[in-house]
Amino acid sequence: MSLDQLRGTPEVRRRANTEVGLLVLAIIITLSAYTLVGLAQEPVIPAGLLAYGGALAALAAAAHLVSRRLAPGADPLLLPIAFLLNGIGLVMIRRVDFAEASRDSGLELAPLQTIWTIVGVALFAGTLLLLRDHTVLDRYRYIIGLAAVVALMTPLLPVLGTDFGRGSRIWVRIPGGFSLQPGEFAKIGLVIFFAAYLAEKRALLSAATSRLGPLHVPPARAFGPVALAWFVSLGVLVFERDLGLSLLIFGIFVAMLYMATGRLAYVVFGGALFGAGALASWSVFSHVQTRVSIWLDPFADAQGSGFQLVQSLFAFGTGGVAGVGWGQGNPELIPDVETDFIFSAIGEELGLLGTTAVLLLYFLLAGRGFVTALRAPDDFSKLLAAGLTFVFSLQVFVIVGGVSRLIPLTGITLPLVSYGGSSLLANYVLIALLVRVSAARAPVARRSARADLARIDG
């Protein structure tokens, strides 16, 4: 069946209508939040509401048309959820702009984040346009894997790389006064490489031909890739001093290895390696010791190293169940609130109910991603969708756990919500890949199966 014929089927039209309805709902929620933030500053409807709404509607329409044209039958929830999370992030960044303006800081991040959003939607469309068949990525696994490793190492270059005085050397300067975090794109490349590698070596890695006491485990050589991923993640931690990205890289591989083989031995072995690496890092690196000390007792140095986390906890406490209301909080009291701690600002102004709603959006997006993996037609597609969903979900867990003191802070951003061009662009590419994989399990296959069953019954 051709793409034109597929677009005309009832199932595909139903999915398209569902996506349109959810995108309209996402725009309404975003504009309502934008209006409330504006009304908190002045008791009049924000002057730019119409233009802002028109821009969001144009972006949503463009993304929808590209998705339905190039990936008919794709999951209709992925794009609207991502668009809503992005919209909530834009509103919160605008809220931070208002708060910082009250202190005459001159900070204006919302317009720049809006530009990044436009570029992100363009990347979403470009990914679907250029990648008509995601399985071709399997053929270039080693090129993609090498490119991902090179991207990880780029910030170490003496001219391009920089840490902006923040300790972690994860940025690259680009012309025009901008900066980029290559690691955000490298993690997608690593997921593609891991998916291709594990799909090919699945049988070998799943075989339990050795014994460890009473247990049957895979051969020793099968644990080599786990050790290699461990060394790469430690290299990121040692040389770039980025605990969050190091955790993501190692967590991605161990999780995908378990999903590919179902062998708990890899999780146990990976957990032991991670524990050993974490202990060694804590013993050697002062910044890791500081992060752990802050996590254990942030109030021990509440005006110094623990100030961010203390202010974050106060924000959650101030918000309570229902929050203080859009525009009524004090997000400017938290350093770097627009990046690492934007979830804390949401907790203050929207309370437990608001943060729960945001987390439910992430849960729903993760659920659709794993459903896409389960319905994918081949091993590579399954592992690709599952890996992309896992890295997205792990990043949410790490940052939300850090700002709420569930785990030590790692300094990564909240996907699609936090300020930052690199993260936003990379996540739109990630969503596009999930959309592409979800379209591959087209409803035609189900209809064909039903037709076959009908013929058999007849």
Q: What is the extent of the structural domain holding 140?
A: 135-272
CB neighbourhood size of 297 (10 A): 10
Residue 187 falls inside a structural domain: yes
For position 155, what pLDDT does the model report? 80
Distance of CA 280 to the CA centre of its chain: 28
Helix axes 182-206, 421-440, angle to 10 degrees: 40
Residue 149 falls inside a structural domain: yes
Residue 386 falls inside a structural domain: no
CA 72/CA 65 separation, integer angstroms? 10
The position carrying tokens 């997006």 is: 365
For position 443, what pLDDT does the model report? 47
Q: Which of 343, 340, 198 is nearest to 256 (CA)?
A: 198
8-state DSSP, 414: P
CA distances from 174 to 27, 155, 171, 182 (A): 33, 12, 10, 11
Task: Cite the DSSP H helix spans in 105-223.
Answer: 110-130, 141-153, 182-206
Q: Note whether 345 and 96 are within 8 A (CB).
A: yes
For position 48, what pLDDT does the model report? 82
Residue 148 falls inside a structural domain: yes
Burial per residue of 243-255, b for 16 or more beta-carbon CB atoms within 10 angstroms, e otherwise = bbbbbbbbbbbbb
The position carrying tokens 């992925």 is: 78
For position 446, what pLDDT does the model report? 43
Residue 159 falls inside a structural domain: yes
pLDDT-flagged residues of the chain (< 50):
442-458
Q: In the numeric block, which tokens belong to residue 329?
A: 């909080």
CB neighbourhood size of 271 (10 A): 11
For position 46, what pLDDT does the model report? 83
Phi and psi torsions of 388, nearest 5° = -65, -40
Residue 261 falls inside a structural domain: yes
Phi and psi torsions of 409, nearest 5° = -65, 140
Type and span of the H or E element at 171: strand 171-174
As for how many domains the chain has, the answer is 1
Q: In the numeric block, which tokens belong to residue 161?
A: 């790389």
Q: Which of 198, 205, 187, 200 is nearest to 144 (CA)?
A: 187
Q: Which of 441, 428, 323 is nearest to 373 (CA)?
A: 441
Residue 181 falls inside a structural domain: yes
pLDDT tens string 181-229 = 888 898 899 899 889 888 888 877 777 666 656 555 666 666 666 667 7
**Where would I find the beta strands (DSSP E) of 190-257?**
210-212, 215-217
What is the tally of helices (H) and strands (E) in the chain? 16, 5
Residue 302 falls inside a structural domain: no
SS3 percent helix, strand, coil of the chain, rounded to 5, is 75, 5, 25
pLDDT tens string 272-292 = 877 787 787 777 777 778 888
- 413 torsion bin: left (phi>0), alpha (psi -120 to 50), beta (else): beta
- Amino acid identity, position 144: I
Global pTM exceeds 0.75: yes
Would you call 330 helix, strand, or coil by DSSP? Answer: coil
Strand order in the sheet with 178-180: 161-162, 171-174, 178-180
Distance of CA 369 to the CA centre of its chain: 12
